[in-house]
Amino acid sequence: MDIVTVQNLKKYFGSGPRQVRAVDGISLSIEKGKLTAVIGASGSGKTTLLNLIGGLYKPTEGTVIIDGVNLGRLQEEELTIFRRRKIGFVFQDCNLVPELTVRENILFPLALDNSRPDMIFFEKLTGLLGLQEKLDDFPYMLSGGGQQCTAIARALIARPAIILADEPTGSFDAKTSQNVAGLLKMTTDTFHQTLIMITHNLELAQLADYVVRLQDGRIVQ
């Protein structure tokens, strides 16, 4: 079953001669529980595509359907709620809230949704990511890898339909990068999560079930 369906998706920035066609007619569908890697040169439209799928941008044209819901049909506030329930984000710089502890950061999306955390899932998740000892630390006390693990846990805690990761290992050295990617893959596998990950690292792309290569806003084979 396809969890994500994208049809003829376009996103243009600006207008006139300086218009940028960041995403220019992309169609794809992604199966539940699989890892999709998005690769391509800098400026090829990877982040834009991911943000479109995550509902952060409104497409210029085309549709995004996630878990049967057409994002284009949602009102602004509905989209926000959809996002916090169905989509988990992991960014290159992990964007944790500095005033919250690791535990609080992870539980933050649930707090926003006013829903109870599943503590067994929480234990298991933090156990897999090696965070049990650090739950009461503040982000600045953690290593970069630890911070990214926290961000991964935060993305997964609401058991979203898909996880979107934009160069999650981009700012780490090779070894940490390997570790983090491994953990990300392992957790998504463990919990049968669908993951779409942008990466420049071809080794990481090897781990993927599918690889999508972009060039000038289009998919190339």
Partner 1 sequence: MDDILKTLTRRSFAASRARNWIAVLAIALTAVLFTAITTIVIGTAESFTLTIQMQKMSQSDGDLRYMTEEQFEALHQADFIDTAGLRMPVAFLTNASRHNIEFNIEDEIQAELTFCVPTHGRTPSAANEVVASDLALRDLGIEPEVGAEIMIAFTAHGQHYTLPMIVSGWYEALNSQMSVLWAGTAFREEHPEIFRYTFSADRELAGTYWSDFTVRSTLNLEKKLRELVFGLGGEPDDMNAPNYMPAVVNQVTNTRPSFFQITATVVFAALFMLCGYLLIYNVFDIAVMQDIRRFGLYRTIGMSRKQVRRLINQQAFWLSCIGIPLGLLVGFFTGKAALPLIMNMVVTEYRHLAADVSPSSALFLTAAALTALTVFCSTRKPIRIAANTPPIDAFRYVENSGGRRASRKSALGTSIPRLAWSNLGRNRQRTAFIMLSLTLCVVLLNCAGTAADSVDVEKETAFMMRTDFAVVNEASTSNFKGFVRRSDALKAKTIADIAARPGITDGSVVYKNTAEDTNVTYDFGHSLTGETYRNDSSGLTFGYDHVYNHYGLGDDGRMICNVYGMAENALARMDLREGETNPHVLYEKMAAGDGILVGVGVNRRDMSFVPMLDLADVGQIITVYKNGTPIMELPILAKAALNGDDQEIGFTVNGPNEIGGDGLFLYLPANIYEKLYEQPTVYKYSFNIEDEYEAEMTAFLEDYMKTTDPSMNYLSAQSARKSSEGTQQMIRFVGGFVGLIFGLAGVLNLINTIITTILTRRQEFAAMESVGMTRRQLTGMMVWEGVYYAAGACLFGLVLAAALNLTLVKSLVDSMWQFTFHFTLLPALGACVVLLLVSAVVPILALRCFRKGSIVEQLRITE
Ligand X SMILES: Nc1ncnc2c1ncn2[C@@H]1O[C@H](COP(=O)(O)OP(=O)(O)OP(=O)(O)O)[C@@H](O)[C@H]1O
Interface contacts to ligand X, rule CB under 6 A: 13, 20, 22, 40, 42-48
Q: Give residue 79's Cα distance to chain centre.
A: 16
Does 104 help bind partner 1 (rule: CB under 8 A)? yes
Strands 162-166 and 194-198, how do they pair?
parallel
Provide the minimum distance between the beta carbon of 166 and Mg ion in the complex, in angstroms, as a whole number.
6
**Residue 21 contacts residue 216 (beta carbons within 8 Å):** yes
Cα separation, 124 vs 170, whole angstroms: 26
Provide the minimum distance between the beta carbon of 170 and Mg ion in the complex, in angstroms, as a whole number.
9
Q: Give residue 22's Cα distance to chain centre.
A: 19
Residues numbered 149 to 168 that lie near partner 1 (CB under 8 A) are 154
Q: Give residue 127's Cα distance to chain centre.
A: 21
Residue 87 structure tokens: 């989509």
Looking at 40-48, 83-91, 119-127, 172-180, which segment touches Mg ion (CB under 5 A)?
Answer: 40-48
The single residue among 114, 120, 206, 221 that binds partner 1, judged by CB under 8 A, is: 114
Sheet holding 20-31, edge to edge: 20-31, 2-13, 61-66, 69-70
Provide the minimum distance between the beta carbon of 176 and Mg ion in the complex, in angstroms, as a whole number.
20
Among residues 14 and 68, whose Cβ is nearest to Mg ion? 14
Provide the minimum distance between the beta carbon of 220 and partner 1 in the complex, in angstroms, as a whole number.
25
The single residue among 28, 40, 44, 47 that binds Mg ion, judged by CB under 5 A, is: 47
**What is the three-class DSSP state of 53?**
helix
**Chain positions contacting partner 1, by CB under 8 A:** 51, 54, 56-57, 76-77, 80-81, 83-85, 89, 91, 95, 97-100, 104, 107-117, 140, 154
